[in-house]
Amino acid sequence: MEPRHARYPFFASAREAVRGSGVDLAALVADGDPAVDRGRERVERALTEGTVEPAEPLEWDARDELLSYPIARILVSLLDSRAAVEKYAGAEARTAHRRFTEDLDADPDGARRDPGRVERDALLREFDLDGAVQVAEPEPGQTEGKWLWLGVGAYLSYVDPDWGDDWRLVNRELADGEVRVEREELYRLLRAAVRDRVAEGLPFDGVGEELADELEAEITDLRDLLADRSVGADLDVVAPEHFPPCLARLLGRARDGEELGPYGRLSLLSFLAGLNLDVDDAVALSGLDPEPVAERFAYLRDESGAQYPPPSCRTLGEYGLCDNEGNHRSVAPHPLEYYGRQLREADDVVDWRDRQDRDVDGVEA
């Protein structure tokens, strides 16, 4: 098992290394191997933070990192949710994009000294793009290597129509069956290639009942994180006085300039995103800085338009954010469901965006 396998566990050579090692994944799970904990963290951070980077990198060795990848794929398969697959594959691709961008833009001598880094030719070969990419001659005054020529077939294999008009072939320079792209655009196409590879075959059947039983606790917790994506589909009224108590407290703390922490910030912003607030209104309501709000909203509303929901009431309780006031979880186990019930029972609700002074009545500090 090489350092590069741990850094890029979706490479074909990494998969072969796992197979060749003779490791029994079921035995790892039964024994409570560290790779299982790292695999759970991999999926949890993908669902909550949009990354699979470890929170404490020094806690895991290369073996843990590599073996955590097939464990994570088992967990995602047991979740049996298209939303989980999308979030997990997107997070793996996002993390890989950051890593190979660092590798390819690094000083060549330093990159060769680091066995975990990947060179461009090796990365292109991994996705059958070797020979499909040519370095364009630099134009006067331009940086060498800024432009590349990519075969049309390879380009169309990974470009997403939702990326905008700039990516359409009619708006591209074409010559001899090749498309001119910037280096950073090639990196984006490679990110899409990683996402497709990670998502391929997920969720898969064939996870044995014994293994599924061993992972039951992990799956229960991850399902709470994933929650129900359709809960807030029809909620588009913003009435802070009817927010669930835990979200009202978070909103009050945010408006008072208090630090919410990563779980508190995720919970509040995913709730506001579930109410179809745009970034400007979310900033005006919460008092949070615009840049992190925009970044988080971009993650919560992925490229397919799917909406990532706030954590369930049970998960909020585990974060120390929900006290289950009035035992509301027994009738409304999700914040958006609780909020919907409050709105239905209220009279003359005025949307916060339509209020002249935009008061935030009922928000607890």
Q: pLDDT tens across 334-355, in order?
A: 888 888 888 888 888 889 998 8
pLDDT value, residue 140:
57
Please say whether the dihedral angle defined by the alpha carbons of residues 327, 329, 331 and 332, taken in this order, is positive or negative: positive
CB 149 within 8 A of CB 180: yes
**What is the pLDDT confidence band of residue 364, given thresholds at 50, 70 and 90?**
very low
pLDDT digits (tens, 9 = 90+) for 287-323: 999 988 988 888 777 554 556 677 888 888 888 999 8
Asked whether 304 and 195 are in contact (CB, 8 A), the reply is no
Q: Where in the chain is the domain with CATH 1.20.930?
A: 3-199
Mean pLDDT to the nearest integer, 187-211? 92
Q: Cα 337 to chain center, whole Å? A: 24
The pLDDT of residue 193: 94
What is the average per-residue pLDDT within 227-253?
78
Do the beta carbons of residue 118 and residue 103 sit within 8 Å? yes
Mean of the per-residue pLDDT values of the chain: 85
Asked: is 3-199 a CATH 3.30.160 domain? The reply is: no
pLDDT class of 229 with cuts at 50, 70, 90: very low
